[in-house]
A and B are shown apart, each in its own frame.
Chain A
């Protein structure tokens, strides 16, 4: 599957920058929207202001965390098909298991090597 509109939800500006730089270096023809709030993202998606066919989601965020966002999306019949990939600082196995049960299709700990992130994106975006 070829993704065209991807969405990154992460409140950390550094990580946003790292992500975008890595995405750029994959040279994939995708558009990427970046939002720093899961709550904002959810309401924009619900209002139809935002379209995404793949979501990268951080977990630890204020007001609404990644798990809550995941739960809300999976409640919606139309939205539940959007694949969601967790990109978190956490390396906790229990957390990984939890988000997979909530419907995330992948769980990645934010890599400390830039090339590793590029490799992940290469693999996911085909």
Chain B
């Protein structure tokens, strides 16, 4: 740098050195300024300026009525680039126009009163680095007296605190954001410090959960404010604080007392160890979310499901009872109905005998009464038998179906002879069944085969049996594949039926023919179906009208196979 040598060094001994600003001060042409050349400066100015220029602390000096500016190297960086530097020798108002409204009155106050002023972290924005910057200062203005003792200048010591303030502001901002985060959070947040669990941070959401205000909680040991929670939560909190391990609870029941009233609910809870700057656990942070509505809804749902299950069980019991009652009713009704009908039949016969000779018309009427009453008796007895088809496992025993068929053929001998029928059967299996029901089953089927015959054709009836193999078993989904079955077939060469009616014929009171053509009550095959149901078997029929019929019986070998089932 090219500094002009001072004209008279002896006048500048007070500003020897002083760095860049010292050199500038020395080379400045002060004669053009209101304070004149340095050789005319008062001693007080020289002394003060010496202090300023030789100080490593940022300093500034306003001198004279025009507040001519001096400053040192330490102050220089605060003026930045493209700004006020060099402001040396200029009037204060020229140098600081943008802040004159603020510092002008301060300076004149110090000048007039002789009292210093002091500011800390004061925002004083001014032009530097090409723009107006927000700059914070801590500074003092001190009066400087001239040789006559009058205040003639203001001595400024200052330090720029912009960075400190910025950091502080950022810290505050982030703390404020954290506070807002905590305050505005919809989950309850509380931070407890130390063994006494003093509340350091708490939000309104937490306060609402426990029915206390933030003010009540803050700064106090938690369990002194909500003692009713201590038995449930003290150990957990201690555990987290001492172990440093977090704990989570889902749908945890809790209660608090609010003005003596019990307030209860369910919380999802996170207990998080709260670490200080040293990394040690100082306390516990609790995050809690009220899940009461969800849990209540869930419990309610579970209750409804349980209630429905109970209702269903009850309905089932009622149904079973009413089924049993219905069967009982059918039994009693049909049993008691027998008696009057039997008497009608009997007394009609007695009347007929008593009358001796009768006219044709009388005989006709008597016959109609007899026929009607005997048909009614038949119906009643079939209904009775049907209602008595018990599903009683006590009645189950080994039944030789060959013997059953022998007995049936014996019983029906007269009819078989009359019809010149043949009933053939080879070896039939022994099965576990109710003997009476097996007799009823095959009795009904053989009777039907003898009944539904083609006129002029001798009935040929055959009964065959084979064990159902695994492949065949698969084609009957209603059977239990784990059990062994026999497939029995009762075939005839009678009138048969349209395959269309193959299922209908097993329904009670369903008939395909008029009573005139074939006697019967329409109960026989319904009984067969029920007997097969009782035995976990199945019956179905195949036929082509006019070409005979085959009744297929799928009968389990053992009833023990269905031991876990409630029937038979």
Contact = CB atoms under 8 A, between A and B. Distances in A.
Interface in B330-367: 335, 338-339, 341-343, 345-347, 349-350, 353
Given A18-B350, A89-B335, A93-B436, A112 B388 contact: no
A110 interface: yes
A113 B388 contact: no
A76 interface: no
A120 to B, nearest CB: 13
Contacts of B346: 18, 111-114, 117
B152 interface: no
B138 interface: no
Task: Say what secondary structure dominates the interface of chain B.
Answer: helix
Contacts of B25: none
Interface string A103-115: 0000000111111
A89 B388 contact: no
B45 interface: no
A91 to B, nearest CB: 7
Contacts of B347: 14, 18
A110 B388 contact: no
A34 to B, nearest CB: 17
A90 interface: yes
A111 B377 CA distance: 11
Contacts of A115: 349
Interface in A74-102: 89-93
Given A91-B381, A91-B384, A93-B436, A112 B335 contact: no
Contacts of A15: 343
A112 B345 contact: yes
Contacts of A91: 338, 381, 384
Contacts of B335: 89-90
A110 B346 CA distance: 10
A21 B343 CA distance: 13
B374 interface: yes
A123 to B, nearest CB: 18
A89 B342 contact: yes
A18 B354 CA distance: 13
Contacts of B381: 91
B354 to A, nearest CB: 9
B338 A89 contact: yes
A12 B374 CA distance: 21
A35 to B, nearest CB: 20
A21 B347 CA distance: 10
Given A18-B346, A91-B384, A112 B436 contact: no
B370 to A, nearest CB: 9
B349 A114 contact: yes
Contacts of B373: 112
B384 A113 contact: no
A21 B353 CA distance: 11
Contacts of B343: 14-15, 18
B350 A113 contact: no
Contacts of B388: 92
A63 to B, nearest CB: 19
B345 A21 contact: no
Contact of A112 (B342, B350, B353, B384): B342
Interface in B433-448: 436
B345 A113 contact: yes
Interface string B379-406: 0010010001000000000000000000
B345 to A, nearest CB: 4
Interface in B290-313: none
Contacts of A93: 436
Interface in A51-87: none
A15 to B, nearest CB: 8
Given A89-B335, A91-B381, A93-B436, A110 B342 contact: yes
A89 B339 contact: yes
17 contacts: A12-B339, A14-B343, A18-B346, A18-B347, A90-B335, A91-B338, A91-B381, A93-B436, A110-B342, A111-B346, A112-B341, A112-B345, A112-B346, A113-B345, A114-B353, A115-B349, A117-B346
Given A89-B342, A91-B338, A111-B346, 13 more contacts: A14-B347, A89-B335, A90-B335, A92-B388, A112-B346, A112-B373, A112-B377, A113-B345, A113-B349, A114-B349, A114-B353, A115-B349, A117-B346
